Structure 1
Amino acid sequence: MTGRQVNAGGWILGLAMMLVAFNLRPALSTVGPLLGLIRETTGLSAAGAATLTTLPVLCLGLACALAAPVIRTMGPDRGVMAGMALIAAGLALRGIDTRPTLFLGTAVAATGIGFANVLLPALVKRDFAASSGPMTGLYTMTLCLGAAAGAGAAVPVEQALEGWPMALAVWAVPALIAAMAWFPYARRGAPARPPQPGELLRSALAWRVTAFMGLQSSLAYILFGWLPLLLQGRGLDPLHAGLYASLVTLCQAPGALVTATLAARARDQRAWIVGIPGITALAFLVVAFGAEAVRIPAAGILGFGVGGCFGLALTLIVLRAADAGTAAGLSAMAQGIGYVFAALGPLAFGLAHEATGGWGLAGILFAGFCVVAIIAGLPAGAARTVSATR
């Protein structure tokens, strides 16, 4: 897309991108508030619940790993369209009240999310190069709003529709709307210079961006899958636990927007890599183990921190890539490998809870992920770039 085309229709493209972004998390965030009910009605064990919360993260990683061939064969624009179609199909599958379709639909939807997750940073680099920081912040914020909507509406929608299968499947409707909005852009062709994965696999900088992406993703998916149950363990009923989870998720939106915008303007991002995961760890410990009087502000800070970590990770992908083709390749590597390892986060968190019958060890594990994210990601904050196109 040329600069003239961006000036004439960029706001329409941006709106379509926001609609896509809105649908990249409800498939994940709607499960946590309903997990207790799902376990009760299906007989799902704690290990099965841990698998259900881990499966989408694993599928995200595998889908991201397939993004490079997708870019070469159909281009990023058609790739986003394919992703939205998979999301809608997977969500619809979850409306069938069986355990196999619950797992299958989750895997299909997560695969579609993985395609779109990888391709959006490349489109920002290509179509909004002059305003990549604010645009990254905006679509990350919208993504977080979609997650918050899913978490907050899950229990009320389940009560209105009298069953968790339809409460999960109803999110196929906004996914279809986003697919229709993106359809005019699905006719654009592939990029002239596809990424060369081998170049990135030999880059220490690319691996550092990947490490930070994977570790911060573990934090988000632990909260998606387990925060409502943790809060129920502290005495909250499912509705109020879901509302707290929604507050955390809602506050991710300003965290993502502010962090991505300000970090992109900074000379380098090292201070942000230390500060944002640091406040995330402290806020989580207060929510999990602190006094009830400070739970609401701590939940808001926790959401701001987790959203900021995600916005920062995507900003690093855009800033450390020398061009749009490299941004696609770096996004595929960082999210593909990162999400596969991030899948271990909610699994380990759930197994720690099951092994101890409490949340102490699991809470220490969460804080540990934050510390390791700082250590692993700090070198990625230095102002330099990598190129993977020829």
Structure 2
Amino acid sequence: MVSTTTWYVCFREETYTNGPNVRPVQGDGGITPIPDEEIELNRPFILSDAQKSFEEKSADSNRLFLMEYDDIKKLSQIEGRKRTTNAANIDANKAKNRYVNILSYDHSRVKLRMIDDDPCSDYVNANYIIGYTYEREYIASQGPLPGTVNDFWRMTWEQSVTIIVMLTKCKEGNTDKCEHYWPDTVNEPKQYGDIVVNLISVSNMDKFDINIFQVSQGDYTRTIKHFHFLEWPDFSAAVDSTVVIDFIQTVRTHITPEVKGPLLIHCSAGVGRTGTYITIDYLLQFVRDHDLGQSVDIFAWVVQMRKNRVSMVQVDKQYIFIHRALTELIDRKRNGLLQSQDDTTILNEIVYENTAFQSDDDEEEEEEEDEDEEADAMYENSMKKVPDEHTTEL
């Protein structure tokens, strides 16, 4: 990272007011009218009251949680009308988007260095996301497509990324979620454009893998750690919060002062599981560094993330999961189980043992969730010229 000064995110008091002309807006969960009403942006609560707040909002089939999340979607629709996605919609770039409705906002997109003065060569489907300490603490990215793997590695190199967090399997069921973008075999390097990636270590930690890469461009080489979480089904929060927090804590122990670039976080679309991970990572740091009399505002945090990338924390179940994870983080703090920043070298010193663009179908894909629950649909990109069909959500 590039700064030693803690950077706190401050949300100013603010409401969004819709004008009298109500019109259908394509947004989260389909086309819905935005009512003419004020939506309160700031909804803080005291950390010590987190369990009580969770129980109150969970009552009556999560009624208050669902109301809050519906407000997030309304605010996101309003925000989306202010933002442009011009680069993502250039004809030469359309095939680089895994889903046609998950596009990078222009103002926060990660720009690659141009190749041969080609203005389209700077596009990758990824956005900077603010963090607990830095304004560009994270990059939220879609999982690479066969045709964008080289761009993914260019982004990693140019942004000085040394930690990648992958939250999806490459294939889930019969659905391709992410191209396998690293070598299959240890010490058999592969070239991606002008970047060479050598897998030097693979460690299976039961719920996740840690891959260590030596990545080279020309005469320069750096080490990149790849944390691959294996237990989180797409479009859901069907995962144990304890397991997720343990994973996030493990990753955080590797974030030493030598880590200069942002953390690169991705799932398939780079919005649902990715946004959930980033939020819990933020909360882990916040709870670690503050007493329980301080207040936190998860609602405002999610709205803020969505100003930089569409649909972050993509379904209401993930929003509820974040609040559940917060109660566990607070319990860990009370029991002295949250590692301080001074402990980040502990796991980093461990030596890991080696264990070893789209078809023409343009259907809107909707995930089958629990009865009567409407989730945010993502539409697969029918312009990608790749051999296999990509269907799905996160």
Q: Say yes or no: TM over 0.5.
A: no
TM-score (norm 2): 0.27
Greater strand content: 2
Kindly indicate which of the two structures has a greater share of residues assigned to helix: 1
- TM norm structure 1: 0.27
